[in-house]
Amino acid sequence: MRLFRICVYGLLLLPLLGTSSCEHGQVSKFVVQACTVYISTDSTAKPLKCTVAFDQCSMDIVDYSAAEAWIRATNNDVVTWKNDPGEKPHHQYAVVFAPPSPFGTVGNPNPPVTIGVGNTVTGGTQCDKAHPKLCDFKYTLTSDGTKCSDPGVHIDPNAL
């Protein structure tokens, strides 16, 4: 079953490998629209190993290596973290952004991320064309309280 799931995720990522990420030397503007990040945990692995799989997500492999591909988003895109439906038993996950968050507003710069609920990208409170480094939003992913590895969300400042 696990091998089947890995193969399915590989097939889902295959279209991303065949797409061009540059146009005339410029990074193209990706539109995520509705990105889902499926999370699963291999509880038998020591240390605990979390796996993320992406569905309908544009990945930023131009600015980052494929191993550390960040979700590339623009304002009004929706990003949702969910338990992998095939995971048994289900684990409790948490996504916590170091302030600020790509979903933040002036009144609430670091809103909580609820697993299973869509989060609308706002670009945070400081991300803009003049400050592109402030458009990288790292977060901590935990499984049952244990830290996992997942890079973050990169907002395209040129699409703001």
- CA pair distance 36, 38, nearest whole angstrom: 6
Establish if 1 belongs to a structural domain.
no
Establish if 142 belongs to a structural domain.
yes
Q: pLDDT at position 60, please? A: 63
Establish if 11 belongs to a structural domain.
no
Number of domains in the chain: 1
Establish if 20 belongs to a structural domain.
no
Please tell me whether residue 69 adopts helix, strand or coil conformation.
Answer: coil
Q: Please check whether residue 70 is in contact with residue 60, taking contact to mean a CB–CB distance below 8 angstroms.
A: yes
Establish if 6 belongs to a structural domain.
no
- The alpha carbons of the chain give a radius of gyration, in whole angstroms, of 16
Q: pLDDT at position 135, please? A: 87
Q: What average pLDDT score do residues 61-76 get? A: 67
Establish if 8 belongs to a structural domain.
no
Contact residues for 54 (Cβ-Cβ < 8 A; gap 6+): 12, 13, 35, 36, 37, 38, 71
Establish if 81 belongs to a structural domain.
yes
| Model confidence band, residue 103 (pLDDT cutoffs 50, 70, 90) | very high
pTM surpassing 0.75? no
Establish if 24 belongs to a structural domain.
no
What domain range includes position 90?
A: 29-159
